[in-house]
Amino acid sequence: MINSKLIKIYISLSNDCKKILRRYLKSSFVTESKDIVSFFTFIDTRREITALSVSKEKAFSYLYPKAVYNDLKIRHLIWKSTEIMEDFLLYYQTQNSLLLRNKILSDFYFSNNLPFLSNMIITEELEKIEQKEERSVLDYQTLYSFGLKYYDINSNNNRTSDFKFEQTCNALNVDIIVEVLKSACIIDSIHKVTEKKIDLPLLKPTLELVESSDYINLPIIKIYYNIYMAITFDNEIAFEVFSENIKKYEMLFEKNALNKLFRLAINFCIKRHNQNRIEYSKHAFNLYLYGIENGILIENEEISRFVYTNIVTMGIKIQEFEKVKNFMDKYVDYIQSDYKENTFHFNSAKLFYATKRYNDATFILMTNEFKDIIWNLNAKYLLLKIQFETDDLETMENYFTAYRLFVKRRKNIGYHKEYFTNICNSFAKLMEIKHNPAKFTSFTFDNQTPDIDWFQKSLESIKINFQTQNSRRK
Same domain for 248 and 281?
Answer: no
- Assess if residue 259 is contained within a domain: no
Mapped onto helix, strand or coil, the DSSP state of residue 352 is helix
With a CB cutoff of 8 Å and minimum separation 6, the contacts of 436 are: none
CA distances from 334 to 78, 255, 338, 352 (A): 32, 18, 11, 22
Q: Half-sphere exposure of residue 72, counting CA atoms within 13 Å on the CB side?
A: 0
Same domain for 107 and 199?
Answer: yes
Segment 104-143, tens digit of pLDDT: 999 999 999 999 999 999 999 999 999 999 999 999 999 9
**Mean pLDDT of all residues in 372-399:** 93
Q: CB–CB of 259/299 below 8 Å?
A: yes
* pLDDT score at 470: 75
What's the sign of the alpha-carbon dihedral 264, 267, 269, 272? Answer: negative
Same domain for 289 and 325?
Answer: yes
Same domain for 113 and 28?
Answer: no
- What's the rounded Cα separation, in Å, for the pair 219 and 227? 12
- Assess if residue 258 is contained within a domain: no
Same domain for 123 and 242?
Answer: yes
Q: Sort residue 164 into left (φ over 0), alpha (ψ -120 to 50) or beta.
A: left
Same domain for 115 and 40?
Answer: no
Same domain for 53 and 139?
Answer: no
Nearest to 238 by CA among 268, 209, 208, 212: 268
Nearest to 91 by CA among 43, 20, 157, 28: 20
Q: Half-sphere exposure of residue 82, counting CA atoms within 13 Å on the CB side?
A: 14
User: What are the residues facing 299 on neighbouring strands?
Assistant: 302
Q: Sort residue 356 into left (φ over 0), alpha (ψ -120 to 50) or beta.
A: left
Nearest to 284 by CA among 307, 257, 258: 307
* pLDDT score at 61: 95
Mapped onto helix, strand or coil, the DSSP state of residue 145 is helix
CA dihedral 101, 103, 106, 109 (to 10 degrees): -70
Average pLDDT of the residues of the chain: 93
Same domain for 82 and 117?
Answer: no
Segment 169-212, tens digit of pLDDT: 999 999 999 999 999 999 998 888 787 889 999 999 999 999 99
- Assess if residue 21 is contained within a domain: yes
With a CB cutoff of 8 Å and minimum separation 6, the contacts of 352 are: 358, 360, 361, 364
Nearest to 379 by CA among 390, 366, 389, 391: 366
Number of structural domains in the chain: 4
Segment 46-65, tens digit of pLDDT: 999 999 999 999 999 999 99
- Print the domain residue range for 408: 372-474
Segment 175-187, tens digit of pLDDT: 999 999 999 999 9
Segment 215-271, tens digit of pLDDT: 999 999 999 999 999 999 999 999 999 999 999 999 999 999 999 999 999 999 998
Same domain for 120 and 244?
Answer: yes
Same domain for 149 and 244?
Answer: yes
- What's the rounded Cα separation, in Å, for the pair 176 and 193? 26
pLDDT for 474 beyond 60:
no
Same domain for 239 and 112?
Answer: yes
Q: CB–CB of 243/265 below 8 Å?
A: yes
- What's the rounded Cα separation, in Å, for the pair 185 and 190? 9
* pLDDT score at 159: 67
User: What are the residues facing 302 on neighbouring strands?
Assistant: 299
